[in-house]
Amino acid sequence: MKIAVVGATGLVGNEMLKVLEEQGFASSDYEIIVAASAKSVGKEIDFANRKLVVMSVEEAISQKPDYALFSAGASTSKQYAPMFANNGTVVIDNSSAWRKDNDIPLVIPEVNSDAIKATDRIIANPNCSTIQMVLAISQLHLKYKIKRLVISTYQSVTGTGVKAIQQLENEERGVQDEALRVYPHPIHRNLFPHGGDFQADGYTTEEQKLVDETRKILGDQSIAITATVVRVPVMGGHSESVNIEFYNDYLLEDVVETLKNTKGVCVEDDIEHNIYPMPLYAQSKNEVFVGRIRRDYSQPNSLNIWVVADNIRKGAATNAVQIMKHLIER
């Protein structure tokens, strides 16, 4: 079986290779193809104690891989994903290129893998902040039916990419390098309510993704959703404060038990010992961590939870590999 990673030299592409190795794709049963932009062609990437040579995307298409994991940006996906698909490859795309397309499934394997049809050749990976939240609330929605979500996210600089990490590290050292600056403000010892691009209505594209993608994945356009995205100077992952209003009332102990039984979710909620999810400890883990589970007394049938996950792992690379594993097993 041939598996291509497109955008292999980037932050998420590199993590995809790590996840592939961890998930059992390093054996001789699988040929791993790495592709990237022209400036990276010929470079070597370490994978499972061997070197992989980066090829062009066009050459990767000619190799006719069974699967292609894309993490190279929306414009690259729009250009090349159909070429792979027309060549018989199943594309799992991590960009925003296909998420709103009604004919392309937007998938979190633990939640809606049944959305994938046998004829689908392009499958969209949701936005990182959407993945962790929807995985956490999916079973609660089935049990109590969600009426409204109020979301505040505290998003790691890793969600912006390598240059954002470098900007933070430079600022920590007191170095100003305008060439590496990707944010409109300093991020060290700072935070700002700005993720993505601002829209005409004052919301950002990152906030709009939480609205549109949540409804699509859960198959419910009636859920009222509002969101505020905040960029924070951390590395390990994204954190989210999620307020949920249900149509039906609940027992708190049943909510906790439901979360514990949700595949891919790890409950960390022991306030007596100061145990709750934090990005520092979520880093490099594939689970979604949920804590601070408590009733919201200001509104009927309402709940507060705190959700944390490594946005490069479950929010991107891990979810894509899990989609592929589901298809292989199916």
For the CA atoms of 35, 166, 75, 114, the dihedral, rounded to the nearest 10 degrees, stands at: 80
Q: Give the CA angle between residues 235, 46, 84 to the nearest 5°.
A: 90
Residues 154 and 279 in one domain: yes
Examine the domain organization and report whether 82 and 206 are in the same domain: no
Which amino acid appears at position 313 of this protein? R
Total domains in the fold of the chain:
2
Domain membership of residue 211 as a residue range: 129-311
Domain CATH number, residue 27: 3.40.50.720
Both 108 and 135 in one domain: the answer is no
Distance, CA of 196 to CA of 101 (rounded, Å): 20
Are 212 and 245 part of one and the same domain?
yes
Q: Do both 285 and 323 map to the same domain?
A: no
Positive or negative torsion for Cα 91, 95, 100, 106: positive
Query: For position 306, which CATH number holds?
Result: 3.30.360.10
Instruction: Note whether 56 and 168 are same-domain residues.
Output: no
Q: Which of 128, 194, 266, 273 is catalytic?
A: 128
CB neighbour class for 173 (10 Å; exposed up to 12, middle 13-18, buried from 19): exposed
* Whether 280 and 140 share a structural domain: yes
Residues 59 and 176 in one domain: no
Whole-angstrom Cα Rg for the chain: 20
Same domain, 290 and 173: yes
State yes or no: is 238 an active-site residue. yes
Say if residue 211 is in the same domain as residue 292.
yes
Write the CB contacts of 133 (distance below 8 Å, at least 6 apart in sequence).
151, 210, 214, 240, 242, 307
pLDDT of the chain along its 330 residues, tens only? 999 999 999 999 999 999 999 999 999 899 999 999 999 999 999 999 999 999 999 999 999 999 999 999 999 999 999 999 999 999 999 999 999 999 999 999 999 999 999 999 999 999 999 999 999 999 999 999 999 999 999 999 999 999 999 999 999 999 988 888 999 999 999 999 999 999 999 999 999 999 999 999 999 999 999 999 999 999 999 999 999 999 999 999 999 999 999 999 999 999 999 999 999 999 999 999 999 999 999 999 999 999 999 999 999 999 999 999 999 998
Pair (186, 47) in one structural domain: no
Q: Does residue 266 carry a catalytic annotation?
A: no
How does DSSP classify residue 236?
S
Contacting residues for 252 by C-beta, under 8 A, at least 6 apart: 293, 294, 295
- Residue of 238, 266, 273, 326 marked active site: 238
**pTM tops 0.75:** yes
Q: Which residues contact 293 (CB under 8 A, 6 or more apart)?
A: 252, 255, 256, 259, 267, 269, 303, 304, 305
Contact 141, 108 (CB under 8 A): no
- Report residue 103 as tokens: 């004919």
C-alpha 142/C-alpha 113 separation (Å) is 16
Residues 20 and 95 both lie in one domain: yes
